[in-house]
Amino acid sequence: MPLYHSLGSIPPKRHTQFRKPDGSLYAEELVSTEGFSSLYSLVYHAYPPTIVKTLGEPYSVEPKIAREKHLKHTSLIGFNIQPEDDYLQSRKPVLVNSDLHISLAAPRQSMTDYFYKNSQADEVVFIHEGSGTLKTGFGNIKFQYGDYLVIPRGTIYQMEFDGTANRLFIVESFSPIRPPKRYRNQYGQLMEHSPYCERDIKLPANLKTYDEHGDFKILIKKQGLIYPYIYATHPFDFIGWDGFHYPWALSIHDFEPITGRLHQPPPVHQTFEGNNFVICSFVPRKFDYHPLSIPAPYNHSNVDSDEVLYYVDGDFMSRKSVVKGQITLHPGGIPHGPHPGSVEKSIGKESTDELAVMIDPFRPLMLTEDAIKIEDENYYKSWQY
């Protein structure tokens, strides 16, 4: 998020001496993206962030592809993913390509005996059920139902849940996740026509310095492998930091819908962008107000992209028998549209209370073995009269 932020204590000039009360130096670290050409932060540690005690054997968490090529409207019943105690083990990738991985997770327990770092992908963790705290060296972010947690690559974090009933929809992006360019001016500020603004952004707060020695397990993900590292000092030993590279959050409930006299296309719902895909938020809103408007969406042929909808809450006028946590995948190459009877039924309705997350990737998505386990095999027939 291109918004300057700072927490804790930092020296008046960067790359200068910054000493502890005992006279020794704090350790400065530059966390930079795209080499030295994009967003970065400067972090000051109690100890150098490089003291590795042991390195364990890496193990694979690479998605297992079950259906690489397909042309079939597909539905996945997301809440059929069974809860598991561990946060990482609960993450089940279901739809993947070379730009992003989409996963479902239902962790029951907080991360207490290890820390996690995704070293090559930004993560967007949508909180469907549950609440808690995202803990990082940059500070903490409280989260609840409807929050998008945006965790940039390289961020070491822990998820602390308030209870055991948690449902997460996770996007791993191999390119930076940012607000859409058309909503930002040349200085990065969100403009007046943007459906959300800086006041809606949740920033890290309550920085606590953990000045501790010991054995600290950090599980680091890179190229489909998890590397178990044991560090000699606590990873949250930040004395202070400043910059533009840090985790942040946005609630889907703070996304202000853009409406019109006639049906508005999906780009008005765009919330984030990555390379070759977008993330959109469908929220409660007034329907079209032209006297002859048809609120239900028209039939649509995806020529250049797949379309993924993750159903969160509410009623969906264009679909029959939608359940919470359901994912629909409408692949590029064949048309999709409202279910029979939905168009006529929508006429005259003034508003909707639907809540959903949409992802449009511009490369075809593959289904994993975990996806096949929760597939509604007859969904493609649901347009029959």
Known catalytic residues are: 263
Give the count of beta carbons closer than 10 Å to the beta carbon of residue 341: 11
Known binding-site residues for Fe cation equal 300, 306, 336
Residues in the annotated binding site for homogentisate? 336
- Tokens 């947690």 label which residue? 149
Residue numbers in the known binding site are: 300, 306, 336
- Report how far residue 77's alpha carbon sits from residue 64's, in angstroms, rounded to the nearest whole number: 19
- Strands 285-286 and 59-60 come out as unpaired
